Amino acid sequence: MKKENIVQWKQVLMGVVFIASASIVSTSIPLLYNRFGWLVNVNNTDSSSKLVVDVPVITKEGILKTNTNPEKNVLSETIDYKRVDLLTSPIETPNFVTNPSKLRNYLEQSNVAVVIEGDVDRAFLYLKAKHIDINSESIYFFIVDGYSRQGHLVSSESLISGSGNDFLYDLKQLPLSSLPFPLENKKQIINVTDDFLNRDISYKQERKYYIGGFVSTTQLPNSLDVMQIRYVCKSTSACTIRLTEK
């Protein structure tokens, strides 16, 4: 073989080897980086380093705090409010619950009279009963004198839920309904704070109302154990809600 041909073949072989080596290197570098690249990032203090950032949920009010429980916050907030206990003892649901005349007489005797003085800013109705199946049972509530508001409280509208026996309602937006279930279909929102607690009536010397309730169920025994009004006064007025003689 001529010397010139040998040189040409050597050049070809060297070119092939170079191309193959370059291909192997270009393929291996990403694989090595994927496997060991974290070692580079650990020691890389350059500000351009890519970091994984856990971005919190943003709302128009700002960053949403984690582990918040709105129900717990509302209930704990009202614990510090002024309060009036409307029940001196639990109200047992009577066995004549389906007899309207007997039930009416029973509720007239078990209700309480309250007097409101000053102006109330916020007020909540807190109730505690034995377990209630919100799909077939409810708490009946009424406030009356001269005119009245009464009905079955819509359990699903309670500001606290889940236990089946504790309920909290804003008295500016009290959801009352009539049977049959589901109560949500017939609910009316009543502003008890403005229409009763803060309302002066010309023919009355004082703001006095009669308040009562009971667990509306035929699954006996059952009772309404706690009924409270938790409230705060307006900044421009001292106020009080107290029990009084009927």
Position 60 in a domain:
no
Question: What average pLDDT does this structure show over 6-13?
Answer: 51
Given a contact cutoff of 8 angstroms between Cβ atoms, the answer to whether 93 and 217 are in contact is: yes
Higher pLDDT, 14 or 120: 120
In 3D space, the residue among 97, 179, 188, 111 whose CA is nearest the CA of residue 145 turns out to be 111
State pLDDT tens for residues 61-95: 444 444 456 655 788 889 889 999 999 899 999 99
C-alpha pair distances (Å), 91 with each of 10, 13, 56, 109, 132? 107, 102, 48, 11, 15
Threshold 0.75, pTM exceeds: no
Position 103 in a domain:
yes
Predicted confidence (pLDDT) at residue 156 exceeds the cutoff of 70: yes
Give the least confident one: 43-47, 73-77, 195-199, 239-243. 43-47
CB atoms within 10 A of CB 140: 21
Question: What average pLDDT does this structure show over 14-28?
Answer: 48
What is the percentage of the chain residues whose pLDDT exceeds 90?
A: 61
Q: Are residues 102 and 189 in the same domain?
A: yes
Higher pLDDT, 147 or 129: 129
What backbone torsions phi and psi does residue 156 show, to the nearest 5 degrees? -70, -15
Q: Which pLDDT score, from 0 to 100, does residue 37 have?
A: 41
Q: Which domain holds residue 16?
A: 1-53
Q: Are residues 27 and 97 in the same domain?
A: no
Q: Are residues 232 and 116 in the same domain?
A: yes
Position 85 in a domain:
yes
H/E stretch holding 17? helix 3-43
Question: What average pLDDT does this structure show over 182-186?
Answer: 95
Q: Which pLDDT score, from 0 to 100, does residue 4 have?
A: 53
Give the total number of structural domains in the chain. Answer: 2
Which CATH number is 196's domain given?
2.60.120
Dist. CA 84–CA 239, nearest whole Å: 12
What's the chain's average pLDDT? 80
Position 194 in a domain:
yes
H/E stretch holding 22? helix 3-43
Q: Are residues 121 and 198 in the same domain?
A: yes
Q: Are residues 226 and 142 in the same domain?
A: yes
Q: Are residues 15 and 100 in the same domain?
A: no
Position 221 in a domain:
yes
Q: Are residues 111 and 182 in the same domain?
A: yes
Q: Which pLDDT score, from 0 to 100, does residue 71 have?
A: 59
Q: Are residues 114 and 207 in the same domain?
A: yes
Given a contact cutoff of 8 angstroms between Cβ atoms, the answer to whether 231 and 122 are in contact is: yes
Question: What average pLDDT does this structure show over 221-240?
Answer: 96
pLDDT band at 60 (very low <50, low <70, confident <90, very high): very low
Predicted confidence (pLDDT) at residue 103 exceeds the cutoff of 80: yes
Position 125 in a domain:
yes
Q: Which pLDDT score, from 0 to 100, does residue 68 have?
A: 52
Q: Are residues 40 and 107 in the same domain?
A: no
Dist. CA 102–CA 169, nearest whole Å: 28
